[in-house]
Structure 1
Amino acid sequence: MIAYVTVGADDIARAKRFYSAFLPALGYGVKEGPEGLSYALPLEPNQGPMLPDFYVKPTFDGEPASAGNGAMVAFEVSSQTKVRDLHAAALAGGGADEGQPGFRDAYGAHFYVGYVRDPQGNKIALFCDNANEPGRDD
């Protein structure tokens, strides 16, 4: 089980604008502190943590942050409409398009995904794989 994901950022304010453009729509709340941004899902009384948390932080070694080649973080959403809406919100929040929302031939018939890069260059996927939504071949 993945407990948390951390991405590096050199400009926390710019990263906050990007991630706050779509993560709250997925239920994540944000806390900002001296170590950067912490996005977490809300907890109900007597409930254990909802994983994974997502952190955006300056690098620990003080060197410039860089995006990992081949690394990507994917957020699952409930509908294809939400994929399109959040992809647009991420672009409006300062992200760069890395692949417009749609079906990809390499994945299942209902796998609908859009890709963005955050201001630091980290690749983010927003996807829906809901069999109740229209499929690639419909």
Structure 2
Amino acid sequence: MIAYVTVGADDVVSAERFYSAFLPTLGYALEEYHGDLSYTPPAQPSQKPTSPDFYVKSPFDGGPTSAGNGCMVAFEASSQVQVPELHAAALAAGGADEGQPSFRTSYGSHFYVGYLRDPHGNKVALFCDNPDEPGRDD
């Protein structure tokens, strides 16, 4: 099980604006710790969270942030309708479009996804893969 995911940010203020545009809607709570951002998923009392924590931090070595080529973090939305709403909120908060929300022929018929880059170049996917919703071939 993945415990946490970390992405780098040189400008934590712009990173907070971007990630706070959609992560709270998905149930993540923001905590600041030593100037870094920690987004934690919801947990029921006396239970561990089911999703990994998501951290936004300045690089530990003091060097500049760089996005990994081929690296991406994906966040699951609760519905297909929510995907374009969150995508638009993230764009308005400083993100860059990497692919408008839609079905992709490369994935399953119910995989509805939009892609973004955060203000530091990290790639983010917002998706829904609910078989109870209309699919690409319906």
Q: How would you bin the TM-score normalised by the shorter chain?
A: over 0.9
Q: TM-score scaled by structure 2?
A: 0.96
* Counterpart for residue 8 of structure 1: 8
CA distance in 2, matches of 1:51, 1:3: 8
2:22 aligned residue: 22
Please give the secondary structure, in 1, of the residue aligned with 2:82: helix
Structure-2 separation of matches of 1:89 and 1:106: 26
Q: What is the alpha-carbon distance in structure 2 between the residues aligned to residue 54 and residue 67 of structure 1?
A: 16
Instruction: Provide the secondary structure at the position in 1 that maps to 2:89.
Output: helix
Q: Quote how far apart the aligned CAs of 1:35 are.
A: 4.4
Residue pair 1:77, 1:127 contacting (<8 A) in 2 also: yes
Aligned residue type for 1:102: S
* 1:1-138 equivalent positions in 2, closer than 5 A: 1-138=1-138
Tell whether the 8 Å contact from 1:84 to 1:101 is kept in structure 2 after alignment: yes
Q: CA separation in 1, counterparts of 2:47 and 2:130?
A: 27
**C-alpha distance in 1, partners of 2:115/2:106?**
15
RMSD: 1.0
Note if contact 1:5-1:54 (Cα within 8 Å) is conserved in structure 2.
Answer: yes
Structure 1: state its 5+ residue gaps: none
The sequence identity of aligned pairs, in percent, is: 71
Amino acid of the structure 1 residue aligned with 2:64? P
Residue correspondences, number? 138
**1:78-98 CA deviation, whole Å, 9 max, x = no partner?**
211000110011101110000
Alpha-carbon distance between aligned partners in 1 of 2:111 and 2:47, rounded to the nearest angstrom:
31
**1:49 shift after superposition:** 3.4
**Deviation, structure 1 residue 43:** 2.7
Deviation at 1:46, TM superposition (A): 1.2
Distance in 2 between the 1:48 and 1:134 partners?
A: 32
SS of residue in 2 equivalent to 1:44: coil
TM-score (normalised: structure 1): 0.96
Whole-Å Cα distance in 1 between the matches of residues 136 and 49 of structure 2? Answer: 35
Amino acid at match of 1:43: A
